[in-house]
Amino acid sequence: MEFEKAYQKYREGTASEEEKAFVESEIERIRKVSSVIDEKPLRNVVEKAEADEVKKAKKKYTLKTTLITLLIASTVIMVIAAAVCGGIFGTAVTAAKQNLNVSVTEAERIATLQALDIAGTENAKIIISSIEKEIVYTSQLKNSRYIYEVEAVIILDGLKRTELEIEINADTGIARITDVDNG
């Protein structure tokens, strides 16, 4: 028997006894199935599954939020550090440039005179093999300055005799021998 047709007749009051019994037994069967579905243990399983999903979602969201926060904080710290370092080194470089009173050409001339003094004769040939300008940072950044690091070779009688390393203060022009290699 088809439930929909029998149920229609049941509602209209035109169902036979057999149709009434069929509809009532189907309704009772549906109630039993519904009560089984609505039982608490099954509901607890569904609620527990939903709670586990919520916990996983919260954990994932918390981890993602924490990572984003750490990334933003790290970026801010790096930007601040770069700004501070830029200010510090910028001040030192500006001061060193203001204290630059000796040119590369003058540093080469000063180094040549120092090398001739070490050679002890004006007949020596002096070769300047390199000149590098380096900044010297001081605790008071306004006193930072450049120095020239000069490498010179003294040649006497056509033979290489001595290698010198000379440091020249680019502010004052004062030279200092830092290394002598008699070879």
Mean pLDDT of 22-43: 77
User: CB 64: neighbour CB atoms within 10 A?
Assistant: 10
Residue whose C-alpha is closest to residue 24's, from 45, 44, 9:
9
Residue whose C-alpha is closest to residue 147's, from 162, 131, 159:
131
CA dist 131 and 167 (Å) reads 10
- Does 52 have pLDDT greater than 80? no
- Does 47 have pLDDT greater than 80? no
The pLDDT-based confidence of 41 (bands split at 50, 70, 90) is: low
Domain map of the chain by residue range? 3-37, 104-182
What is the CATH code for 104-182? Answer: 3.10.450.630
User: What token pair was written down for 145?
Assistant: 């300055």
For 30, residues 6+ apart whose C-beta sits below 8 A from its C-beta are none
pLDDT of residue 166: 95
pTM of the predicted model as reported, rounded to 2 decimal places: 0.54
CA dist 55 and 97 (Å) reads 62
Write out pLDDT tens, residues 72-131. Answer: 999 999 999 988 888 878 888 888 888 889 999 999 999 999 999 988 888 889 999 999
Angle at 19 between CA 13 and CA 24, to 5 degrees: 85
- Does 138 have pLDDT greater than 80? yes
Backbone angles phi, psi at 92, to 5 degrees: -65, -45
Helix axes 3-12, 17-37, angle to 10 degrees: 110
